[in-house]
Structure 1
């Protein structure tokens, strides 16, 4: 056959995959291009930092001066008490706490000391926090009549970057299983699923599939635990509460990816959409870096991402001395989102059965 004839045959075959080609050639490039807006800079000038008075005698004007000094290199967040600010630090709602002493604007005062609290478990912020302390020292020293010094104080347990990244790797694996492996398995077994519908409902078959894959996740989590033990990491990947958070994350991610597979009728387009969703989730959820490291846009996207909160809870349970009660409101919201995702999957299954 001539080259022209072969090219014509390829074009005819492509007509049968227009949906997949459209996603691959148009939707994914557009999505990747749009996500670049979240990478505006690499200096962490937009990470939230708490500003809190040392006691009740600190005036609003004194707090305003400090917040103004912080604005150049962080996003100041006001808290009324040290306890509230430290709770926010443990929940990673802020990444440092600046304690403001009273009388910092008094003309007769010779020197004043600010305390900057940082959590050592947030390893990527360790070096930036030293820069924050130096910049705060310099900025406030010029703005205030007294000689300023900033005392950087660490809280929590010290961890290495490798230990910090292990929970992140576990979350990425959960997402890979949910958005890549599971949809691929569903497409491969589409005919089997149709046959099973004769004896059971599609929703029951899908629920069984999700439960089975969730159980299979115990294997890679056990591998992570073995690696952590062999390398001497101070992290227990099999901590029950943390495993529960990973499984909850799998439930809502797998439900949404399965719904996409059904709504695209097991076609290749659905797999491309799921792969795009996987990379999109990674791009906006700040799994490894604190929110605000790259831009205020990305910070706001991360704060509205269920995956971002799942990662904070799981990592905190593995690396910090905290309990689930600290994240009770977030867990309730994640459970609600998971229930909503399961509802979307059930509705997608009912719609698919109508189509077929």
Structure 2
């Protein structure tokens, strides 16, 4: 064939795959070019902050003034007690707690000391919080009559950036395996799967694969734990909360990836769709940065993804050693999502049989 004929063949192929090419050549480059500007932000502007009255003498007017003052660099929410605010901080519903002292508008008050608490395990917010403390101290001092100070407090554990990234990388590896190797395995064994259907249902075959791959994920978890221990990191990948978050996430994503492959009859398009899903899940699960770190819109999008809550559970177990009971509502939600993913896998098998 001549070069012209070969080029014509490639052009005809492109016309039949225009959607995939547009995504790869236009949408993805544009997305990554746009998101690159987000990293110019040094101080988070929309991260949730709990504003708490220090005692019963703090007035509604005091709370309104303080809330308005911190809106420029946070998304403040008034919380009625410090205990509840601390629980929200541990669950990453907020990333800081500001306790408001009484009589902040009184000129003769020379001891108006705000307490600004951050979680030491959330390293990307912990460092900018030093600058935020200075901003708040300047702003309060210029607005209020009292002699104001802001005391920054860091809750244990106080992790390093390397320790913080361990659960992030571990979760990312499980996501990568679910959306790349699992579809690859199904595509490689497509012919075998058809032969196995003579002896077992398609649901049984893919279900066995899902169970096997989920158990296989214990290997990278153990490897990460061993490497972290050797490096002296204060992380525990075998904590119950961490295992539940990691394995539930893998079950959900692997079942979804399998369903996509079955619907597309184990073809190349199924693998392409799974790569797109991988980019979406990794990009919008808030694996590394706190929600609201870059924008209010991104915060809204991140909190729509169940994988965000799984990441919080995993991080809380690995870094903070928090009990799983603190996240029972989220675990129940993840179990419901896992049930929906398994139902999607079942329905994809039904669709495959009816269209064969």
1:2-49 Cα distance to aligned partner (Å, 9 max, x none): 22233234446x27x93xx33431234436646877765623111111
In structure 2, distance between residues paired with 1:151 and 1:164: 24
Match status 1:30 vs 2:27: yes
In structure 1, distance between residues paired with 2:2 and 2:324: 68
1:166-216 Cα distance to aligned partner (Å, 9 max, x none): 001110011011111101111111111111111111011010011111111
In structure 2, distance between residues paired with 1:349 and 1:94: 42
Q: Which runs of 5+ in 1 are unaligned?
A: none
1:247-304 Cα distance to aligned partner (Å, 9 max, x none): 1001111111111111222221111111111111111111001011111111111111
1:217-240 Cα distance to aligned partner (Å, 9 max, x none): 121112111211111111122224
The match for 1:66 is 66
The match for 1:230 is 230
In structure 2, distance between residues paired with 1:159 and 1:220: 22
State the aligned residue count.
Answer: 352
The match for 2:171 is 171
| Shift, 1:241, TM fit | 3.4
Name the CA shift for 1:67/1:249 in 2 (closer, same or farther; >3 Å).
same
In structure 2, distance between residues paired with 1:257 and 1:117: 41
In structure 2, distance between residues paired with 1:335 and 1:216: 20
Name the CA shift for 1:295/1:32 in 2 (closer, same or farther; >3 Å).
farther
Match status 1:4 vs 2:4: yes
| Shift, 1:322, TM fit | 1.5
Match status 1:152 vs 2:152: yes
In structure 1, distance between residues paired with 2:57 and 2:110: 19
Q: Is the 8 A contact 1:23 1:269 kept in 2?
A: no
Give the match's secondary structure for 1:152: strand
Correspondence 1:109-188 to 2 at 5 A: 109-188=109-188
Correspondence 1:250-289 to 2 at 5 A: 250-289=250-289
Q: Which runs of 5+ in 2 are unaligned?
A: none
The match for 2:95 is 95
The match for 1:54 is 54
In structure 1, distance between residues paired with 2:68 and 2:173: 42
Name the CA shift for 1:11/1:35 in 2 (closer, same or farther; >3 Å).
closer
Q: Is the 8 A contact 1:252 1:338 kept in 2?
A: yes
The match for 2:348 is 348
Q: TM-score, normalising length from structure 2?
A: 0.94
The match for 1:200 is 200
Between 1 and 2, higher relative CO (CA 8 Å, sep ≥ 6) is seen in 1
RMSD, matched Cα: 1.8
The match for 1:311 is 311
The match for 1:105 is 105
In structure 2, distance between residues paired with 1:297 and 1:228: 35
Q: Is the 8 A contact 1:35 1:283 kept in 2?
A: no
In structure 1, distance between residues paired with 2:33 and 2:292: 15
Match status 1:84 vs 2:80: no
Q: Is the 8 A contact 2:52 2:98 kept in 1?
A: yes
Q: Is the 8 A contact 1:23 1:272 kept in 2?
A: no
